Chain A
Amino acid sequence: MPSNPVEMMIVKILGGSMGTSIGTGGGGTTGGVTQGSMVEVLRRVYSERFGIGEPLHVQFILFWRRIFTFDFGISYSYYPAKVNDVVMRALPWTLALITPVPIIGFFIGNRIGSIVALKKGKAANIVYYLAMYLSIMPYYWFGMILIYVFGVVLRWFPTSGAYSSIWLKPQWTNPQFLLDVLHHYTLPFLSLVGQGIGGWALGMRASVASQAKSTYTLYMKHLGFSFQKIRKRIERNAILPNFTWLPMSFSGLVGQTLLVETVFGYPGVGSLMYDAAFSLDYPMLEATFLIIMLIVLVGNLICDIVYGILDPRIGSRYVSEEAQ
């Protein structure tokens, strides 16, 4: 197996049969076009174009220039497309998959946790333990079960891709296309969201249970507030410790999205990274890694801002520090 992107590129151009002859240095022939010297020329051209022939320290500087200028040059595996174009085409799919997952998972998980902590019912307990088992289960395996049950046996949902192949390219203004996208979106989304709910429910149950024992709850009960009002107060306070885990969950979520994209053949950043890792597409790997870190960082930033809104004490402290 060639271990150099240039060799891989040449093999790709000349067809798989060339792989062995390049390794031994002899000039193989396919279609009468390629002699040994021809391969040498190709190798030189691609080395120069990819910047691989340079000495190591120059390549290192080139690497930092690519990172800071956001200009990753030409992709090896999608040659001759630019890395930026390919990544930008894939990014919306990944963002669409990743954005709603923590939000919806957080809300559903918190609701389950608070119901289980406040009302001891059989139904609530069953849902709670289901969520717990779901969060221990590897999400990709859960996704495969979803594919099998809903995609193959029941035939309710398509098993792979982000839209049907009758749409040659995305047509965002067409409502039927949007419906089709939602149809494809359901299974990968479910397999991602199922993973988080259990953890949030667990945290919320403990948090609500400790708040329910506190003195203000007792006081409200004695004053005769309705259960709904008390619950609202308790949840408002209990959500804070749980919320601090949200930023921590992002780096895990990014990895989960990558794997789920591969299982479902979803055309996002994860699939690009997967292709790039197999074809030694270094610029693509750098770009996808940078994008992933940016997603994690932006997610953390948003969480910090939302935490200031959720907890007025923190928010006002920020403001008062500004004022000083």
Chain B
Amino acid sequence: MQRRSVAKILFRSKKFLACSTIVLSLALLGAIGPYFTYDPTDYVGRMYEPPSPKHICGTDIYGRDIFAQLVHGLRNSLMVGVIAGGISLLIAMAIGGISGYVHGFIGEAFNALINIFLVLPTIPLLIFFSALVRIRSLFLVALFIAFITGWPGSARALRSMVLSLREKDFINLAIITGKRTRHIIFGEIFSNMIAYIFLQFCGACASAILAEAGISLIGLGPTDVPTLGMMLHWAIMSLSLQIGVWWWFFSPGLVLVLLIASLYTMSSIMPEV
């Protein structure tokens, strides 16, 4: 009964419906697209071919198909988002839940931890990390984003939600019946916030994708696979902007904007909990 009402709450909003359609169709493109396009590293055309029916998004400086890069990059960016977003949400639930529910010193200490991590500048830290680890897989970058920069924002949001739920009657009832704290946090509080947690996951995904794109933009992202940010990096480094090749940087940026804007809009909807 609980689960169904969550879906009902979310899909009642037209905004949510529209944005989730965009995200799902992009995810579908990223999931099945790579099986139908050229290999993103193959030289399939002439240099700097403008968009045409054969190459939907044109070709780059080496004559590689940009649409193929776009689809592969989209898949990898989404993977960063889901991995980093999922892990940072788990951390955020643990730390935000404890800091919101537990009174006294422990709660305050966890709150201080959130506040400290909240002001750490993301991009410089990621640059620092990339200088230390020379060969980075997609998974490693996603892990780093999750552990250092992904979770504090969600943790703070979840904390304030837990703070308000803590005062409800059913929590008092659970305390009186002698349930354990861990059970109350995860079984009683979080199970009543599933819609909200899902929206936080969307927000965490968007921040992770944005962080990865930012670090890839300067060539310090994952070194094994192309992502949307790395396409922008190639477009800048080849100075194609300065000679007027707009199709190389335009399409990855547009996909990035669509993805991030939809995810953020989804996460900004406030469901009644």
A residues with CB within 8 A of B: 1, 3, 133, 136-138, 140-141, 144-145, 147-148, 151-153, 159-160, 248, 251-252, 254-256, 258-259, 262-263, 273-274, 276-278, 280, 282, 285, 288-289, 292-293, 296
A-B contact pairs, 8 of them (CB 8 A): A144-B232, A148-B244, A151-B241, A159-B241, A159-B242, A160-B242, A259-B217, A293-B121
B residues with CB within 8 A of A: 118-124, 127-128, 130-131, 134, 210, 213-214, 217-220, 232, 235-236, 241-244, 246, 249-250, 253, 256-257, 260-261, 264
Closest 7 CB pairs of A and B: A255-B123, A141-B253, A277-B131, A251-B121, A136-B261, A262-B218, A254-B121
Docked-complex contact B124 and A254, CB < 8 angstroms? yes
Docked-complex contact A153 and B257, CB < 8 angstroms? no
Docked-complex contact A262 and B124, CB < 8 angstroms? no
- Chain B residues positioned under 8 Å from A277 (CB to CB): 127-128, 130-131, 220
- Select which of A138, A153, A248 is within 8 A of B253 by beta carbon: A138
Beyond A255-B121, A296-B121, whether A140 also contacts B232 by CB under 8 A is yes
- Chain B residues positioned under 8 Å from A263 (CB to CB): 217, 236
- Please report whether the interface of chain B is mostly helix, strand, loop or mixed according to DSSP: helix
Beyond A136-B261, A138-B260, A159-B241, whether A292 also contacts B130 by CB under 8 A is no
> In chain A, what residue has the closest Cβ to B118?
A248
- Select which of B119, B131, B213, B249 is within 8 A of A248 by beta carbon: B119
Docked-complex contact A136 and B244, CB < 8 angstroms? no
Shortest beta-carbon distance from B233 to chain A in Å? 9
Q: For the complex, what is the distance from the CA of A285 to the CA of B120, rounded to whole Å?
A: 16
Which residue among A138, A151, A263, A273 has the maximum number of chain B CB atoms within 10 Å of its CB? A138
Q: For the complex, what is the distance from the CA of A205 to the CA of B255, rounded to whole Å?
A: 29
- Chain A residues positioned under 8 Å from B242 (CB to CB): 147, 151-152, 159-160
- Chain A residues positioned under 8 Å from B127 (CB to CB): 258, 273-274, 277
Docked-complex contact A144 and B121, CB < 8 angstroms? no
Q: For the complex, what is the distance from the CA of A144 to the CA of B120, rounded to whole Å?
A: 27
> In chain B, what residue has the closest Cβ to A251?
B121
Shortest beta-carbon distance from B256 to chain A in Å? 6
Q: For the complex, what is the distance from the CA of A259 to the CA of B127, rounded to whole Å?
A: 11
- Chain A residues positioned under 8 Å from B219 (CB to CB): 278
- Chain A residues positioned under 8 Å from B130 (CB to CB): 277
Which residue among B119, B127, B243 has the maximum number of chain A CB atoms within 10 Å of its CB? B127
Q: For the complex, what is the distance from the CA of A152 to the CA of B130, rounded to whole Å?
A: 32
Docked-complex contact B244 and A152, CB < 8 angstroms? yes
Docked-complex contact A144 and B236, CB < 8 angstroms? yes
Docked-complex contact B122 and A262, CB < 8 angstroms? no
Which residue among A133, A258, A276 has the maximum number of chain B CB atoms within 10 Å of its CB? A258
